[in-house]
Structure 1
Amino acid sequence: MLLKELLNNIEVIKVKGNIDIEINDVHFDSRLIKKDNLFICIDGFKTTGHLYVRDAINRGATAIVTEKEIETDDVTVIQVENARKVMALIANRFYEEPTKQLPVIGITGTNGKTSITYMVKSILEFHGKNVGLIGTISNWIGDIEREAVRTTPEALDLQKIFAEMLKEEIDTCIMEVSSHALELGRVEGCTYIIGVFTNLTPDHLDFHSNMDNYRNAKKKLFYKTTLCNIINVDDFHGKIIADEIKKLRVPLLTFGIKEKANIYATNINVDIKGVHFDIHMPVGTRSIYVKIPGIFTVYNIMPAIVICYILGLSLDEICVGLNGMKGIPGRFEIIEEIKDFAVIVDYAHTPDALENILQSAKEFAKNHIITVFGCGGDRDTTKRSVMGEISGRLSDYSVITSDNPRTEDPLKIIEMIESGIKKVTDKYKVVEDRKSAIEYAMKIAKNNDIIIIAGKGHEVTQTIGKDVLPFDDRKVAIEIARKEGLI
């Protein structure tokens, strides 16, 4: 594609050189650059693409997009105000605007995004649909799974995935849309047929600074939809978003349990095997059973049902699909092999998510709840003491340990968690090594106890310093259970 075509209708500060040249690929990583490629300089959290301009030119780049002036006569230089947003628009154009042909559903919110995407994928696939998924755990193009680097990929990677989905004749793509992606412009140029808001609780405040900024980032999704927006109005921030977007031409559907909504649930009954409830929709009422226990499951399954209905499935077909749905990796995942007591692995790494899973466990706990958890390093520090207080209040015993400390001192993170738990209880123990912490919890557990291992869920690595080490909570628990004769 010609460079001038890629730049059509994009605001630029200055162009130096020829734009009537052919561009056969676009990258923001100089190591991927080849002959006749366009290199886009973007600022990351640890480095900047401007440091790699000469490397890109040496590898064959014939044009550079940059926010800074570059002194070179070797290549065409396009200076812009915001390289990330321009990259998204160029990527969309380079891959021929794939979301205008591919139906894409965007899910945003603090918690529940992954669960909803997997629920919708499972129901649609049960009825023979060819489904794509982009999210935290993996990216799926039909039956092909790829590792996910981040919740929402960088714009070039994202548009390439959409283009590949079209090539593979994917019927529908369901994707998690992170607040970072919305704020940094990764999804500029994307069109969504449906947008869903789950909830908003404190997270990523190291990036957004405050909850208003966090909400406003999430809200951007609902100005990119064409068919319908679906909002949880039990959530305080959901109510605000719903009120602000109701003036849009795109229809708005609300859901909830406590507040008046278009879709709501009653007769909720939770046990360790799952949750039963009645869902009420404008088109009818159905009794629902899902094999994932917890009140949060009700909040996740309601929008999943609505999405599938909008996509053309009847309520009866959706219910049949739900019956065949498997659990979601690392989301209230019960380790079936261990019988004397329950061991549950969950991704809960925010105060709200931790409170939800502990409240759910209390509804069916026959004995004590033991919680093993930590907090990630180099991330929002404000939630650490809050999560400590939540675990102390809702657990019978807590084991505070490391999560992904990254470059922070694990003991400093643990001290912050301790400052919260001390406010409500002295029934806790600090075990810095995560494997030892899980082992300690399993050794003190009695019959009918519930052990919640929270924070990492589906993750299969642990980042300590700059080392990424193999670590899977589920596999570690099973290994310990075998060693202790519990399996």
Structure 2
Amino acid sequence: MDLRRLIQNTDCRLVRGDALTEVTSICCDSRCAAAGALFVCLPGQHADGTVFAAGAAAAGAAAVLGGRGYGGDDLPAGCAVLQTDDPRRMMATLSARLYGEPAKAMTMVGVTGTKGKTTAAHLLAAILQADGRRVGLIGTNGVCWPGHRHDLNHTTPESCDLQALLRRMADDGCDTCVMEVSSLGMKFARAAEIAFDVGVFTNLSPDHIGPDEHADFAEYLQWKRALFFKCRTGVFNIDDPWVGKIMQGVPCRAVTYGIEHPADVRAGADIALTRMGGRLGTAFTVDGARYAVGMPGRFSVYNALAALTAARQLGAGEGAIRQGLAEAVVRGRVDPVAVGAPFTVLLDYAHNEAAAESLLRTLRAYDPARLIVVFGCGGDRSRLRRFGMGSVCARLADFCVITEDNSRTEPVEQILADIRAGLKLGNPSTPFAEIADRRKAIYYALDHAGPGDIVAIIGKGHETTIERNGIKEPFVEREIVEEYMANGGM
């Protein structure tokens, strides 16, 4: 598509170059620039995108889009230069146009909330697949559709990447896309230009507050709520204490689910824990019908209700709902590892206080001999998360093994010191071991687990790398556990 057509009827201005310049792709990472690309200079906390424009042009970018006043003085003469007042928002507009507005060719479902987004999205996708649909899934666990899967850098990808992915899905025959919509995804206009048939709200608690994220909880709530101004139907957890604020003034049709309060879809009080081998699950009743989900505890019932309610709004059959809930497996979400030992090992992504508390309370309900938790906290993130994680794990676990978790550029010792302070706040008498190397920490927990114990390795879940000193290295916890146990441990 040439620049003239691409920017028509927008506030994007061509300030240098040929209006007939052909654009074949859009990117905001200069490392992805290639011949025919439009490179968008995004404002950043630490570096502005204009710093990378010359590199993008050298890689073959046909045009560069910057903010108001950007002149592209360091670009070669043949590279077109454009300006706009809001590069992020304009990137979304131009990406949707270039890739032919692929979201309009599919049923779009957006899932937001602090906890449960990934699980609710996977459960819903499993239901819709059982209903005979060809479903694409985008979120924390990456992007996948039949025959395709790869990791993502963000839960909600940048708009240029998102629109390109949606185009690929639609071209490959997908009729539905279920995607996690993060608060940062909304704040940074990644999901702009997408209208959702159904939006789902799971729950809300303080998270992603700090540098490069949200200024405070009020802003966090605002961007969670923003999804429901882009939906035809909103599916809301009526039991969440913040649901009133989320629903206030939104124009979409509202459908509710819950357990405690009257709702359009309500689970009965007869929730039962199930256990088959190493897989923990839950059974519950809605409208007199019994359902089972292969994930443990009350929070799993809420996630299942979110998926069930959304599926009903999309016309899924009862058989598909029952099958999808029972058979879905979500990588890194209360994910059992077969170890051939008299104890249970689970992997989970819980990486903040609220998620850890919900998980550990659920696991305690299975009455383990001991609940052992292996965890750390990310570097270059709020220290409050470390105190909170330490505190809740000390209160709810019988034994803690504290270790690294994507320390990034921060010294591990400093992170562990903060976690230790949290342990003392929660319960100073809870025993713990401190092993900075996460692989060795996992080995230690496995070596010291006994019959009837549950070992919860939390914080990384589905992740396949660990980041130390700004470098990502391969690190797949399932493989680490399986290989160690297969070799006899110790």
- Does the TM-score normalized on the shorter chain lie above 0.5? yes
CA contact (8 A) 2:371 2:456 kept: yes
Equivalent position of 2:408 in the other structure: 406
Preserved CA contact (<8 Å) 1:136 1:151 = yes
Cα RMSD over matched residues? 2.0
AA paired with 1:130?
R
Between the aligned partners of 2:55 and 2:377, the Cα distance in structure 1 is 38
- Which of the numbers 364, 368, 379 marks the counterpart of 1:362? 364
Please identify, of 7-16 and 444-453, the stretch whose mean Cα deviation from structure 2 is larger: 7-16
In structure 2, relative to structure 1, the CA distance for the partners of 1:4 and 1:13 (3 Å cut) is closer
Residue 457 (structure 2) aligns with: 453
Contact 1:202 1:383 in 2 (8 A): no
Contact 1:84 1:185 in 2 (8 A): yes
Residue aligning to 1:416: 418
Corresponding letter in the other structure for 1:278: T
1:276 is aligned to: 283
The CA distance in 1 between the partners of 2:174 and 2:352, in whole Å, is: 33
Alpha-carbon distance, 1:259 to partner = 2.6
**Are residue 436 (structure 1) and residue 440 (structure 2) matched?**
yes
Q: 8 Å contact 2:259–2:266 — kept in the other structure? A: yes
Q: How far is 1:35 from its partner?
A: 4.2
1:274-328 CA distances to partner (integer Å, 9 max, x unpaired)? 1011124xxxx421111111211101110111222222222243113333x1421
CA contact (8 A) 1:13 1:81 kept: no
Trace 1:233-312 onto structure 2 (pairs within 5 A). Answer: 233-245=238-250, 248=251, 250-266=252-268, 267-272=270-275, 273-280=280-287, 285-312=288-315
> What is the deviation of 1:41?
1.1
Q: Residue type of the partner of 2:281?
A: G
Aligned equivalents of 1:485, 1:32: Cα separation in 2: 43
C-alpha separation in 1, matches of 2:452 and 2:62: 66
Q: How many residues align?
A: 477
CA distance in 1, matches of 2:479, 2:37: 44
Deviations 1:178-212 (A, max 9, x none): 11110011111111111011112222112102111
TM value normalised by structure 2: 0.92
Distance 2:399 2:55 in 1: 55
Aligned match for 2:351, one of 349, 352, 357 = 349
Name whichever of 421-430 and 36-45 sits farther off. Answer: 36-45
CA positional deviation for 1:462: 0.9
Residue of structure 2 in register with 1:396 after alignment:
398
Q: Which moved more, 1:290-299 or 1:425-434?
A: 425-434
Q: Are 2:194 and 1:194 aligned?
A: no
Supply the AA of the counterpart residue of 2:128. L
Gaps in structure 1 of 5+ consecutive residues:
none
Partner in structure 1 of residue 9 of structure 2: 9
Which residue is equivalent to 1:122?
126
Give the 3 Å change call, closer, same or farther, for CA 419–77 of structure 1 in structure 2: same
Q: Is the 8 A contact 1:274 1:289 kept in 2?
A: yes
CA separation of 1:24 and 1:453: change in aligned 2, threshold 3 A: closer
Cross-structure match for 1:319: 322
Is 2:218 aligned against 1:209? no
- Tell me, yes or no, if the aligned pair for 1:233 and 1:242 is still in contact at 8 Å: no
Which of 210, 221, 226 is 2:227 aligned to? 221
* Mapped contact 1:192–1:225 kept (Cα < 8 A): yes
Relative to structure 1, is the Cα distance of residues 373 and 34 closer, same or farther in structure 2, using a 3 angstrom cutoff? closer
- Post-superposition Cα deviations, 1:213-235, rounded to whole Å, max 9, x if no partner, equal 11111111111112x10111222
Identity %: 34
SS of the equivalent of 2:291 reads strand
Cα deviations across residues 76-123 of structure 1 (Å, max 9, x unaligned)? Answer: 322222211110111011111111221110011111111112112222
Instruction: Give the CA deviation at 1:131.
Output: 0.9
Query: In the alignment, what sits opposite 2:55?
Result: 55
| Distance change >3 Å, CA 374–CA 316, structure 1 → 2 | same
State the distance in 2 between where 1:436 and 1:412 align: 19
CA contact (8 A) 1:202 1:350 kept: no
How many angstroms apart in 2 are the aligned matches of 1:71 and 1:353? 46
TM-score by length of 1: 0.93
* Cα distance change of structure 1 residues 320 and 71 upon mapping to structure 2, 3 Å threshold: closer
CA distance in 2, matches of 1:350, 1:356: 10
